[in-house]
Amino acid sequence: MKNLIFFLIFAFGGLVYSQQTGTQLIYQSGNFGIAFCNSVKLNTGGIKQLYIQHGLYNYTSGINESGRYLLLNKSGGNWIIPHNGFINAGWGVYYPYPEYSCTPIPFFAISPVDTNKLIKFFVTPAAECPDAKTFYTTNGGISASMAPFACGGVLIFPTGSDYNPKSGSTLLFGYEDLYNFGVYGIYRSSNSGVNWTKITELDSLRESTGCYNWVYFKNYGFLKYNPFDTAFVYANATTSVYISTNGGYNFFRSNVNWFRDIVFSYKDSMLYGFNDYRIYRSSNKGISWDSVVILRKFNALEVNPDFPNILYGGDSLGVYRSTNYGSNWQLYNNAFSPTREVIGVSKDAGSLDTFYVVTKKNVYKVWASFIMDAKNTGGEIPSEYSLEQNYPNPFNSITNVKFQIPNVGQSSQTVTIKVFDISGKEVSTLVNEKLNPGTYEVKFDSGNLPSGIYFYRMESENFTSTKKLILLK
């Protein structure tokens, strides 16, 4: 098997392009890091808007890139400051101290019908007492007006907001009653934020605070319309998910725990929710859910818009993929550096195998499995290729595979090791990278695979070998 690896590096400002098998680096955040990302599905076409928000770095020395939101211009491949800076961080100077204060936007929502319409929650920088306000814009941030959700002396964060995907003027906003703590109101505006009416009250909602962790226990708050049937609205409570079937006027508790997020499958109208180590699925708009333990603590989840059986999940070790609606998962790509911790995954319709991955440091395009977990065990350079029997074998959950690459007149070569089930279906990629001559060892974590006989095959430019392994749970 012959593989071609092509490297291209180009840097200008924050843009960096580098290509290797399966992964392309398209943005480096430098010292700032990436605190949060948003992937917004628009009503026009299958393209999503991908936003990233810088973390905080050295912000006491003056205004810089801290807390700034950037939007990927997918047609041009560059990153821009969106919406005329409407969602940029706020800056101020504490009086009388010559010390800067930076307050990133902890929360914003955008209309999928008209991207000139946004609403944001803004924490006042350099305020002696906690202070925050809510602003909305209908002209892309050229001008803004204040909505009636503000607080002084204490920070009360929104519990979510969403624009109706069938209407460009209707939106919901969840907020705790400033003078009646513990009572959360769902407010509705039918004229893009000019006027608001409280349409219901709830006693337990989580707060939306981005990734800056000003509020710890109640993170992951959301308020979302179902894009396929806007009579259904979802709100994340402390210990459960609330569901409305009449546009947010009344809610009932579902039979599922709180979610980190709800994700919609636009091909088959399926709903997915996820929290620590569990994926939930609903085929009836959230009325009932089934679930599966995934043994992964995902930070992000995405459904392939063209093939709804394919899902992508991201955790601290990279991107995982499921090809059976989330029932089983295998590590798909972890070729990310200096951190593999994934905080966002975004896929456009019609993009074939390509999708976007956001880590805490960088942004990547990914289009193929690329696993970088083989460890060189050192010692003398082998004189011939070798793929050893896995140990232990039979095994329960985790086993080890050793292999050797000799010096065949080239500094490195591409090596793959893949696992197949008894029918010949690929179930995992253990190695897919360019390796120098040496002795290596890689672990195979069977995850949710059932007991049975499997085969693992090693291929390089000059060698192929297959061995059998037995999984007993």
Amino acid at 6: F
Q: Are residues 103 and 225 in the same domain?
A: yes
Domain count, the chain: 3
Residue where a domain stops, chosen among 230, 258, 286:
258
Kindly tell me the number of DSSP H helices and DSSP E strands found in the chain.
Answer: 0, 40
In which domain, by residue range, is 459 found? 375-471
Adjacent-strand bridge partners of 50: 39
User: What span, in angstroms and rounded, lies between the C-alpha atoms of 233 and 164?
Assistant: 10
User: What span, in angstroms and rounded, lies between the C-alpha atoms of 442 and 440?
Assistant: 7
Q: Are residues 308 and 379 in the same domain?
A: no
Instruction: Confirm whether pTM is higher than 0.85.
Output: no
Q: Are residues 109 and 243 in the same domain?
A: yes
Assign residue 210 the CATH number of its domain.
2.120.10
Q: Which pair of tokens denotes residue 294? A: 């995934």
Residue 399 lies in a domain: yes
Q: Are residues 214 and 247 in the same domain?
A: yes
The predicted pLDDT at position 1 comes to: 32
Give the contacts of 238 (CB within 8 A, at least 6 positions apart): 204, 205, 206, 217, 218, 258
The 3-state DSSP class for residue 451 equals: coil
The predicted pLDDT at position 133 comes to: 94
Q: How many residues does the chain have?
A: 473
Q: Are residues 52 and 153 in the same domain?
A: yes
Residue 441 lies in a domain: yes
Closest CA to 338 of 365, 356, 362, 370: 362
Indicate the pairing of strand 271-275 with strand 278-282: antiparallel
Residue where a domain stops, chosen among 316, 349, 370:
370
- Residue 221 gets which letter from DSSP? -
Q: Are residues 71 and 130 in the same domain?
A: yes
Q: Are residues 140 and 162 in the same domain?
A: yes
Q: What is the pLDDT of residues 83-105, one digit of tens each?
A: 999 999 999 888 777 788 899 99
The predicted pLDDT at position 454 comes to: 96
Instruction: Give me the residues of the chain with pLDDT under 70, please.
Output: 1-21, 210-218, 373, 410-411
Q: Are residues 354 and 379 in the same domain?
A: no
Adjacent-strand bridge partners of 278: 275, 293
